[in-house]
Structure 1
Amino acid sequence: MKLLAGLTAAALSGLAVGASQPSADAYIFRSSSSQSSPDRPSIPKEVTRHILLQRTSRQRYGSDLRDLPSSIDTETAVRHIAKFGKSPAPLFSHTKETEPSQLVVIVEGVAAEQSSQLRGTLGQHAAFTIADPPSATANKFLMAVFQSMGVASPRQCELSEVINPFGTDCWSGPSAVVKYDLRKSPTILDSLVDNLPRINNFVKNGDLEVLLVLLPESSRNSKLNHWSANAAGAGAGDSASDLRRRRHAEETVISDHQLSTDSESDNNQPPAAAFPTTTPDNTHNTKKPIPQCFASYNACMAQTNSCSGHGECANKYGGNSTSSTSAASCFACVCKASVVERGEDARTRGRKTVHWGGNMCQKEDVSVEFWLIAGFTVTIVGAVTFAIGLLFGVGEEKLPGVIGAGVSRSK
């Protein structure tokens, strides 16, 4: 009897330990913030995903919170994103000061002892904790999202390299994301401690902000395979409101699973190929939109195939440097006219000027011809209508009566 009671207690304790999965710590290094408070809010993984996207997005990021489940309060989620996300730039600002570069470092497989020791070494409390850290598969899908945004590091850089925001190999713009696995890189935490003075120096000078996410080892095999709620689909236990929100979100929100599926379906293209490339004579349709701005001249020329051969990238803000990657840079295609030969026949020989339009100069601009034809058609129709109306108006006028003046009977 005592043996049965002991086995039952052991089983119950094992279930309790399995149910209470350790949370993940997230540290934020930025010069404008004060010392972190020991009261760490516990944030769901879906809201954490929006914080990561908001901090690394190179355009103005509008959080579409319709992908959050109904169990998460929207107002609380907005407060967390505003507090732990990137500080928004002033709407009307004439200063030329650049915003600090944003770096997100994700470390997988951190043990509880390592997390406790690192907390003491960093000298600050975690900004917040992730209550339900997902699995390694979810992290792979999340990195595919960052690759599609162009913020993931183009190669597996060492931590000593990636913490330098002025480096050219590990940074392709004002933000970067790297992920390390302690199984493959067991010395990454030691490297973090060794480079902590350099990180604090960059942060103190306003050149860098770092968000460090420490995922516990127990989350590696978690059943949560996605950071976003709508990616996993609607389950049998979902409420009707959750189903409606997720169905609506699937129409508007790109999830981690969708990007990973699209990337894996193309065997010849890596997941980072997020934007379409075109040739001068052929364009390819894609589900992903063409961005309005690129962070650098090289990224603009590479991802638009040199503006489809019909133009060149330039900074909308008037910068002369083609290598600028500051937060105020907005490189976009400036289309140029092309002069083509009409034909070899003597009757049609000549040159034709073709104008181009679109975000990648991939569309032929026929607005001049359209307005000429439309204007001529409207003018002709108006003239004919006026003439017909004038004829009807003249035909409807009454004729004058018989004039009998000067006619009299003879006596």
Structure 2
Amino acid sequence: MRLLSSLAAAVLPVLVASANPSADVYLFPKPSTEIASDVPSIPKEVARHVFLQRTSRQRYGSDLRDLPSSIDSETAITHIARFGKSPAPLFASQQQQDASQLVVILEGATLEQSRRLQRDIGNNAAFAISDPPSATANNNLLSLFRSMGIASPRQCDLASAINPLNSDCWTGSSSVVKYDLQKTPETLDALLSNLDRLNNLVSEGLLEVLLLVLPESSRNSKTNHWSATAAAELRCRRDTEAVLSDAGIFKTDIPKVAAGKPASTAPKQRIPKCFPSLNSCRNQTNSCSGHGECVDKYAVGGGSGNNSVSAADSDSPARCFVCQCRASEVERPADARTKGRRTVHWGGAMCQKEDVSVQFWLLAGFTIVMIGVVSGAISLLYSVGEEKLPGVIGAGVSRSKEKRVIIGGA
């Protein structure tokens, strides 16, 4: 019996780790605002935006169009703002430089190595990646950083990589390095032996580090990209220097800028009510903001057969294509009262607005009914109070007096 118990205790952690191969992410320094005591779990697409936001040479901005519809944009923004690069002080001088950003990727970590790392670091992971992709995806991510001029073209040892003054491993204010713990297990020893030096650089404000620990079980994952599609990584290579702004960070109806004209003076284009072709509808609405599809407005059956439209018919000028919005299920925010998923309905010419008409009419109808009930109750009470007393009471009193008079006369 004891033998079976010991075997179960030894095998159970391995089975749990293989069933839930999440990747741990450590931050130096840790985020100052802690929302919950447990480690939050975020999708790989959102984690990829965190990596890009921390290592971008300028203020990184993205419209998050590469996120699947199952991920709530507000929740993604919250994660990026919490785990991304620390904002610069409001009254900082122009000569004051931001801390250098370092991303260390350790893939092929065993359960024992992960436990040892967590024990020696002394802090829990900042967040976990629920669906880490394969080793091929990690190589593609490193190639993306190389194309952005961030990742070092040569392999540096970890002791040199954590030194931002080392010109062999650093080409600017940010760097990305990747190590395979199965091929070079001594990398973990080098990291743990240089923790004091790393913490000193972090405490002095010279360095900020993101440590990604990928489990060995994720090496053979079927997912070969950190983004939803491979095209998103190619688009990110073209838009790596996008400026983040409150006005246009996640808007999908941004007008196209004419050649040779600055974006600030470009006139805003109105969304047409009807697109002449299927391709123009998809291109100008970004496939209905990812919340619907372009259909023929006057097709038989309300456009239900638009998927069978040929390329020649789709560009026919006699057609009228519009966006047909569809509902999508998104995850609720981590700090929401109710957990799980919620259904979001979309509206607008490009399906870019959340449709809250049902909630509005429920609230408006309930308010109107309650006002009617209260007004009717007050009116009923007022009408009852204004009625005169019946004459039966007075008639009974007068009859008794008349009867006593007659008896006395007799």
> TM-score, normalization: structure 1?
0.52
Matches within 5 A, 1:224-235: 224-231=223-230
Kept in 2, the 8 Å contact 1:31–1:203? The answer is no
Which residue of the partner structure matches residue 167 of structure 1?
166
**2:182 corresponds to 1:204:** no
**2:236 corresponds to 1:255:** no
Kept in 1, the 8 Å contact 2:134–2:218? The answer is yes
The DSSP-based 3-state class of the residue aligned with 1:121 is helix
**2:188 corresponds to 1:189:** yes
The DSSP-based 3-state class of the residue aligned with 2:21 is coil
The DSSP-based 3-state class of the residue aligned with 2:152 is coil
Instruction: Name the CA distance, whole Å, in 2 between partners of 1:79 and 1:102.
Output: 20
Kept in 2, the 8 Å contact 1:152–1:178? The answer is yes
Instruction: Name the CA distance, whole Å, in 1 between partners of 2:139 and 2:185.
Output: 19
1:290–1:46 Cα change, 3 Å: closer
Deviations 1:215-243 (A, max 9, x none): 00000000111100022xxxxxxxxxxxx
Matches within 5 A, 1:9-408: 20-30=19-29, 33=32, 38-89=37-88, 93-231=92-230, 254-255=232-233, 288=238
Instruction: Name the CA distance, whole Å, in 2 between partners of 1:84 and 1:149.
Output: 21
Deviations 1:354-373 (A, max 9, x none): xxxxxxxxxxxxxxxxxxxx
CA RMSD in angstroms, aligned pairs only: 2.8
Instruction: Name the CA distance, whole Å, in 2 between partners of 1:178 and 1:36.
Output: 30
Deviations 1:274-328 (A, max 9, x none): 8xxxxxxxxxxxxx579799xxxxxxxxxxxxxxxxxxxxxxxxxxxxxxxxxxx
Kept in 2, the 8 Å contact 1:67–1:229? The answer is yes
Kept in 2, the 8 Å contact 1:54–1:86? The answer is yes
**Number of residue pairs aligned between Structure 1 and Structure 2:** 230
Instruction: Name the CA distance, whole Å, in 2 between partners of 1:99 and 1:183.
Output: 34
Aligned-pair CA distance for 1:90: 5.1
Instruction: Name the CA distance, whole Å, in 2 between partners of 1:180 and 1:220.
Output: 13
The DSSP-based 3-state class of the residue aligned with 2:214 is strand
The DSSP-based 3-state class of the residue aligned with 1:132 is coil
The DSSP-based 3-state class of the residue aligned with 2:50 is helix
Kept in 2, the 8 Å contact 1:102–1:176? The answer is yes
Kept in 2, the 8 Å contact 1:31–1:206? The answer is no
Which residue of the partner structure matches residue 322 of structure 1?
none
Kept in 2, the 8 Å contact 1:36–1:125? The answer is no
Aligned-pair CA distance for 1:190: 0.6
Kept in 1, the 8 Å contact 2:24–2:129? The answer is yes
Kept in 1, the 8 Å contact 2:28–2:210? The answer is yes
1:291–1:130 Cα change, 3 Å: closer
Aligned-pair CA distance for 1:93: 4.5
Structure 2 counterpart of 1:167, which letter? N
Kept in 1, the 8 Å contact 2:60–2:242? The answer is no
Structure 1 counterpart of 2:199, which letter? N
4+ residue runs over 6 A deviation: 16-19, 34-37, 289-293
> TM-score, normalization: structure 2?
0.52
Structure 1 counterpart of 2:101, which letter? Q
The DSSP-based 3-state class of the residue aligned with 2:65 is helix
The DSSP-based 3-state class of the residue aligned with 2:210 is strand
Structure 1: stretches of 5+ with no match in the other structure: 1-12, 232-249, 260-273, 275-287, 294-411
Structure 1 counterpart of 2:198, which letter? I
Instruction: Name the CA distance, whole Å, in 2 between partners of 1:289 and 1:36.
Output: 31
Kept in 2, the 8 Å contact 1:45–1:133? The answer is yes
Kept in 2, the 8 Å contact 1:31–1:204? The answer is no
Structure 1 counterpart of 2:26, which letter? Y
Deviations 1:77-117 (A, max 9, x none): 00000000002335775342211100000001001121011
Instruction: Name the CA distance, whole Å, in 2 between partners of 1:35 and 1:75.
Output: 18
Aligned-pair CA distance for 1:169: 0.8
Structure 2 counterpart of 1:108, which letter? E
Instruction: Name the CA distance, whole Å, in 2 between partners of 1:19 and 1:163.
Output: 31
Which residue of the partner structure matches residue 399 of structure 1?
none
1:181–1:17 Cα change, 3 Å: same
Structure 2: stretches of 5+ with no match in the other structure: 1-11, 244-410
Structure 2 counterpart of 1:88, which letter? P
1:209–1:81 Cα change, 3 Å: same
% identity of equivalent residues: 60
1:47–1:58 Cα change, 3 Å: same
Instruction: Name the CA distance, whole Å, in 2 between partners of 1:96 and 1:120.
Output: 39
Instruction: Name the CA distance, whole Å, in 2 between partners of 1:186 and 1:89.
Output: 37
Kept in 2, the 8 Å contact 1:110–1:214? The answer is yes
The DSSP-based 3-state class of the residue aligned with 1:80 is helix
The DSSP-based 3-state class of the residue aligned with 1:22 is coil
Aligned-pair CA distance for 1:166: 1.1
